[in-house]
Amino acid sequence: MPKRGKKYQESIKLVDRENLYDVADALDLVIKTAKANFDETVELAVRLSVDPRHADQQVRGTVVLPNGTGKEVKVLVLAKGDKIAEAEAAGADYAGGEELVEKIQAENWFDFDVVIATPDMMGVVGKIGRILGPKGLMPNPKSGTVTFDVEQAVKETKAGKVEYRVDKAAIINVPIGKVSFGVEKLEENFRTIAGEIIKAKPAAAKGRYLKSVTVASTMGPGVKINGQKLMEKK
């Protein structure tokens, strides 16, 4: 185990590692234990009782957080014709066609956080799939980033749309805002994303669906939340 710094050691004393906290109490602790000299991101980690190796136990989706993520997201739109102008009018940081695909290939250009593409561009975008894929940037219909409704996709992304997806270890990691949001806004975001994850429960999932629910700031200790109470409220 790596040795933790003094601030972390002080923070962890405030957290009862065996306790399952209510949402507001947990988020209050996350804020109190965030000691870094920057506005830390608050992350939600949920371990599910699913086997991601099976297609019928995949848990994946997108949701617009009511208070956003607190991060300014740079959006690249790959499109043709009028859709380029539509993307620019909606607030895309970059919009274009094959010339931007070539720029990524030739210059290793990645001054963006999200890539949205129209379906008629996917043949071209596929050429850089091996570049975009490992960085989690490949457009995908399931995440709403392959669409002809460019305006809505850009506006939702800018407003704080996040994607949640279970990984190989059956864990979902997703940001729910910044420490500076305060408990109320963080709780609104938390309950929005948690509600979507619960609604996405596969019929094939066995046992207690939410095996563990933890929130933490970028540099702070994890605080456990009572997942059973979340399920009961649904």
In this prediction, residue 7 carries a pLDDT of 66
- Tokens (6 digits) for 184: 């109320």
pLDDT tens digits, one per residue of 87-111: 999 999 999 999 999 999 999 999 9
In this prediction, residue 49 carries a pLDDT of 94
In this prediction, residue 198 carries a pLDDT of 95
What share of the chain in percent tops pLDDT 90? Answer: 80
| Rounded CA separation 150/84 (Å) | 9
pLDDT tens digits, one per residue of 21-33: 999 999 999 999 9
Whether residue 53 is predicted with pLDDT greater than 60 in this model: the reply is: yes
In this prediction, residue 1 carries a pLDDT of 44
Residues 192-209, mean pLDDT to the nearest whole number: 93
Strand-pairing partners, residue 226, are none
Residues 192-200, mean pLDDT to the nearest whole number: 95
Higher-scoring residue by pLDDT: 1, 215: 215
Whether residue 2 is predicted with pLDDT greater than 60 in this model: the reply is: no
Which residue do the tokens 């490949």 mark? Answer: 138
User: What does the H/E/C string look like for 48-98?
Assistant: ECCCCCCHHHCCEEEEECCCCCCCCCCEEEECCCHHHHHHHHHCCCEEECH
Which residue do the tokens 């939702």 mark? Answer: 156
Query: What predicted TM-score, i.e. pTM, was given to this entire model?
Result: 0.83
Asked whether the beta carbons of 50 and 205 are under 8 A apart, the reply is: yes
H or E element at residue 153: helix 150-159
- What is the DSSP annotation of 161-222? EEEEE--TTSEEEEEEEEGGGHHHHHHHHHHHHHHHHHHT--TT--S-SEEEEEEEESSSPP
Residues 6+ apart with CB under 8 A from 33: 11, 12, 14, 15, 217, 220, 221, 223
What share of the chain in percent tops pLDDT 70? Answer: 94
pLDDT bucket at 122, cuts 50 / 70 / 90: very high
pLDDT tens digits, one per residue of 135-193: 989 999 988 999 999 999 999 999 999 989 999 999 999 999 999 999 999 999 999 99
Asked whether the beta carbons of 72 and 84 are under 8 A apart, the reply is: no
Distances (CA, A) of 66 to 70, 109, 202, 204: 11, 31, 25, 30
Whether residue 3 is predicted with pLDDT greater than 80 in this model: the reply is: no
Encoded amino acid at 177, one letter: G
